[in-house]
Structure 1
Amino acid sequence: MTARYAEKLGVAAILTLPELYYRPNKVEELVDYVKQVAEAAPNTPILYYHHPKKSFVQLPMPEFVTAATKRIPNFKGIKFTSSNLSEAYSTLRNLKADQDLILASPTVLAGAAILGFKSATAGSFNLFPTQCRDIMSAVAMKHILIARSIQEKVTRAVDAIGQEGRIPKLKAVMKIVSGLDMGPPRLPMKPASKEDVHELEKLFQELGFLN
C-alpha cells in the first residue's frame, strides 16, 4: 500500500482522498476507509482531503472529523476544498488542539481568517501569494476593510479563471505572473485560447497582480 511505503520514506504526513470508485455513502464508511489508510502508516499523521466537487463524496465533515478522531489515533485533520464556510467553521470547531483544518478556498479567505482559521492552501495561491498573505495579515491587525478590499481582487481573479477550463487557465496565468511555462494540460483538456489568455492578462494587470 502506498501509505505504508510513504511511512518508510519518513514523510511528514499523508493526505488521503476517499475511495473514488466505490464511493462511501455514509460517514462510517468514510471513516472505515481512512482508518485503513491510517493503520498502514500508524506513526504518520493522516489528513483527509475533502473535495466534494471532484470526489462527489458529499458527507457532513463536522460529523466525520468527530468520528474519525474517536477511531483513528493518528488522524490529524482535513484539507477542506469547498467555499462552504459555515460547514468549514463547524468542522474546525470539532477538531482537537493537535489537529487542523487547511482551507483550500481563496474566495472566502478573509472571512475564514476572521473566524480564526490559521491554515490555508490552494493551487491558485501560486498566482497571487502576496495578496493571500496580506489578507491574513490585515485580519490579524484588525484592518478588516483592507482585508475586504484585497479579498475582492482575489475573488475577481478566481471568478475569471472559473471552473470551466480552470486548469488550462491556471497554467496560462502562471506563465503570465511568473514567466514559468507549466506545459500543456493533461488530455482531454486543451490549452487556454489566446483570447482567454489575453483577457486574463488584462485583468491581472488591472488588479495590480503583475506589478
Structure 2
Amino acid sequence: MRFKKIEGLIAATFAPYNGKGEINPSILSNYAHSLKKNGVKGVFINGTTGEGASLDLEEKQILMQAWASEQTEAFKVMAMLGGTNQKESIILGKLAADLGLYGVAVTAPYYFRPGNVAQLVDYMQPIAASAPDLAFYFYHIPLLTKVDLPMLGLLEAVPDKIPNFAGIKYTHHNLMEFNQCLRFNNGSYDVLWGWDETFLAGLAMGAKGAVGSTYNFAAPLYQGIKKAFDGGDMQKALALQEKSIDFINLYGRFGGPAAGKALLKLCGIDCGDFRAPVKTLDPEMLEALKAQLTAQGFFDFSNLNTQDS
C-alpha cells in the first residue's frame, strides 16, 4: 500500500463560528490542543459534521489553511473537498497539496448522482489528480448522499484510474461489505469506520482506524472501548459502547446535529451555532441536555475530564 493505514481516532471537526455566524479560525489552536491531549490522531475537516455543504469556497480555504498549521507527523489533517461541485473540489485539492495536508476526500455527487461505479470513478479522477501526492479517500455515506454503490466494485475499479486512492471513509451499516473491503486484495486499502454508536461492531469486523464526530468530546470513552476489546474484555467493551449509544440517543431530542456542537461547548470548545436549517439549542434546552448527560455520567468519560484545569 502506498499510504500507511490510519490507526486510532480521527475527529470529524465542527465548523467554528463566531457570534455572527462567521468562520472563526482563532479558536482552532485550543480545539486542536484538546484533541491532541485526548489522544486523537487527526482531524477530518469540512465534512458532514463540519457543515462542508453549508460553507462557501473561501470559508473552506480559510479552515484548511488554519488546520494545516496544527498538522504534525502524529496529528493528520484530512480535508473533505466536496461532493457535487467537481470544479470547486479541484481548486480545494490543489490547495490541500500546496499546504501539504495528509489527505483529502470526496463524497458521491448527491444531486445529479452517478448511476454506477464507472461514473463515480470518472467524477473523482480529476479531483484526485489535483493532489496526486496526497492520500485520497472516498467518503461513503449513502444515508445522506443516497448513492449506495458497491464498494468492492469501487476498489476493483480505482487502481488504474486513481493511483493515490488510499481507501474509504465507511459510514454505512453494511458490516459484511466493510469487512470485505478491509480484506480486498490482501488488505490493500485503508477502510475507516464511520459510525460512532457502533464503534465496537467496527472493531469486531476488523477496523483499526475510525472517523467520527463524537471523538471531539468523548475520545477517552472510545479509547476505553478499544482497550477493552484488545484485552479481550468484551463485557467491559460493550458496557462502554452502551454509554456511547445512550448519549448519542439524546441527539434526536436535542436538536439533532446541533446537539453535537452543544456537547462540545459543554466540554469547553465553543464553535457557535449550526447554520440554518439546523435549529440551535436555546439556553433552557442546553441546561436540560447538560442535566441528562450528568445523570448518564457523560462528563466522567468526556474530553473535559482530561483537560487542563
Shift of 1:196: 4.0
Match among 192, 196, 204 for residue 102 of structure 1: 192
Q: 2: CA distance between counterparts of 1:69 and 1:195? A: 53
CA distance in 2, matches of 1:50, 1:163: 26
Q: Percent identity?
A: 29
* Residue 81 of structure 1, CA deviation: 1.5
Distance in structure 2 (CA, Å) of the matches to 1:90 and 1:97: 9
| Kept in 2: contact 1:27–1:63 (CA 8 A) | yes
Counterpart of 1:129 in structure 2 is: 219
> Conserved in 2, the CA contact under 8 Å of 1:80 and 1:103?
yes
1:141 equivalent to 2:231? Answer yes
Secondary structure in 2 aligned to 1:191? coil
1:146-200 CA-partner distances (Å, limit 9, x unpaired):
0010011101111221398322111112122x13222111022221245543443
Letter in 2 for 1:102: L
Give 1 or 2: higher helix fraction. Answer: 1
CA distance in 2, matches of 1:67, 1:79: 17
| Distance in structure 2 (CA, Å) of the matches to 1:164 and 1:200 | 7
Distance 1:179 1:132 in 2: 19
Residues 132-141 or 112-121, more deviating: 112-121
Which segment is superposed worse, 131-140 or 43-52?
Answer: 43-52
Gaps of 5+ in 1: none
Gaps of 5+ in 2: 1-89, 301-309
TM-score, scaled relative to structure 1: 0.89
Alignment of structure 1 residues 1-211 onto 2, 5 Å? 1-2=90-91, 3-94=93-184, 97-162=187-252, 165-176=255-266, 178-194=267-283, 196-211=285-300
Q: Say which SS state the counterpart of residue 210 (structure 1) adopts.
A: helix
In structure 2, the CA distance between the partners of 1:28 and 1:170, relative to structure 1 (3 Å rule), is same
Deviation, structure 1 residue 70: 4.5
Q: Is the 8 A contact 2:254 2:281 kept in 1?
A: no
Cα RMSD of the aligned pairs, angstroms, is 2.1
What is the distance in 2 between the residues matched to 1:136 and 1:124? 15
Contact 2:175–2:205 (CA<8 Å) still a contact in 1?
Answer: no
Q: CA 1:43–1:196 in 2, change beyond 3 Å: closer, same or farther?
A: same
Contact 1:77–1:95 at 8 Å: present in 2 too? no
Q: Distance in 1 between matches of 2:253 and 2:125?
A: 32
Give me the whole-angstrom Cα distance separating, in 1, the residues matched to 2:254 and 2:98: 39
Q: What is the match of residue 22 of structure 2?
A: none
In 1, the alpha carbon distance for the partners of 2:179 and 2:188 equals: 16
Measure, in 2, the Cα distance between the counterparts of 1:131 and 1:153: 8
Higher RCO (Cα < 8 Å, 6 or more apart)? 2
Alignment CA distance shift 1:95-1:70 (3 Å): farther
Q: Which amino acid aligns with 2:194?
A: A
